[in-house]
Amino acid sequence: MSQFIKYSWNILLVIILTALTQVGGIVYLISIVLSNWIRYQMRGKLALVFTILYLICTFLIVPLTSPWFGRQKIDNNSYLKPANYLTVLLNRNYVTNETNVFLQETSNQLMSEKPEIQIRYLDACFPFIKGFPLLPHLSHNDGRNIDFSLVYEDETGIISNKGKSLSGYGVFEDAREDEFNQCKDCLEKGYFQYDYPKYLTLGSINSDLRFSETGTKELIKVFLSHKNLTKLFIEPHLKHRLNLTDKRVRFHGCGAVRHDDHIHIQIK
């Protein structure tokens, strides 16, 4: 029975690590073999071997091999940064070459036009295999979809490049009383998953910050100015509040999750 529990636990870990990082499951299986091969006995040997191999794979092997699959790591710069480094550690920062060019051009545009605003990206895509799901997302599987943090400001109106949660998701800019509440409408129609990102914050932070209408609109305007952008998803009440009329700004549907904690874009 103990062997059965051990095998079941290892299978579960492989599934979880693959779902979270794409490569973690394979690295874990290799780590089991290596840790058994290493004669030296110590507490946590498997965990240590896995950590070393995973970091080597994530920061050295994956960036070198992902171009064979049409993906590349997002090129960070002073105006384009991950909202949190879990995105990088979990290999969720890979895009097509065209998407990387889009990100570089829009960040350069912000640098010249609105230098107080940074592009802070959240989940993009995994490095390998078109169509491989990046859970819990529905569409981040082709290197052309990426999420971004909303823009926030402090009490004096100065733009901040910090977020409202550790994960970047789950702290919502709710509809006002005079705005249509799409979240309430979807939940009442039975789409129970619509507001589930509230469970994925990993902790709320920077409670003094507030949603910046000006900063978020300026960020979206830069995205929309690029010809290669095909779709931009944001919650309908924010679209109305920010007076966004471009037909590429769309409602994502009740089958997805609410988008008043982040912006989602799709590139050609």
pLDDT at 42: 80
Going by C-alpha positions, the residue among 113, 247, 68 that lies closest to residue 105 is 113
For CA atoms 73, 78, 80, 83, the dihedral sign is: positive
What gap in Å lies between CA 91 and CA 24, rounded to an integer?
A: 10
The helix/strand/coil state of 204 is strand
Summarize pLDDT for 187-246 with one digit per residue, the tens: 999 999 999 999 999 999 999 999 999 999 999 999 999 999 999 999 999 999 999 999
Judge whether 15 and 24 are in contact, CB under 8 Å: no
What gap in Å lies between CA 241 and CA 75, rounded to an integer?
A: 32
pLDDT at 229: 96
Summarize pLDDT for 34-52 with one digit per residue, the tens: 998 888 788 888 999 999 9
Amino acid at 213: E
Please compute the mean of the pLDDT values over residues 7-31 and round it to a whole number: 94
pTM: 0.92
What gap in Å lies between CA 154 and CA 101, rounded to an integer?
A: 31
Please compute the mean of the pLDDT values over residues 97-124 and round it to a whole number: 95
Judge whether 160 and 206 are in contact, CB under 8 Å: yes
Judge whether 240 and 179 are in contact, CB under 8 Å: yes
Judge whether 120 and 163 are in contact, CB under 8 Å: yes
pLDDT grade for 12, boundaries at 50, 70 and 90: very high
> What is the token pair recorded at 152?
């926030």
Going by C-alpha positions, the residue among 61, 85, 102, 83 that lies closest to residue 232 is 102
Please compute the mean of the pLDDT values over residues 98-109 and round it to a whole number: 96
Instruction: Identify the residue whose tokens are 């089958």.
Output: 255
pLDDT grade for 10, boundaries at 50, 70 and 90: confident
What gap in Å lies between CA 250 and CA 240, rounded to an integer?
A: 11
CA dihedral 221, 227, 228, 231 (to 10 degrees): 50
164 phi/psi in degrees, rounded to 5: -105, -5
Amino acid at 73: K
Summarize pLDDT for 125-139 with one digit per residue, the tens: 999 999 999 999 989
Q: Is 102's pLDDT higher than 70?
A: yes
Domains of the chain: 2-67 (no CATH), 72-267 (3.30.1380.10)
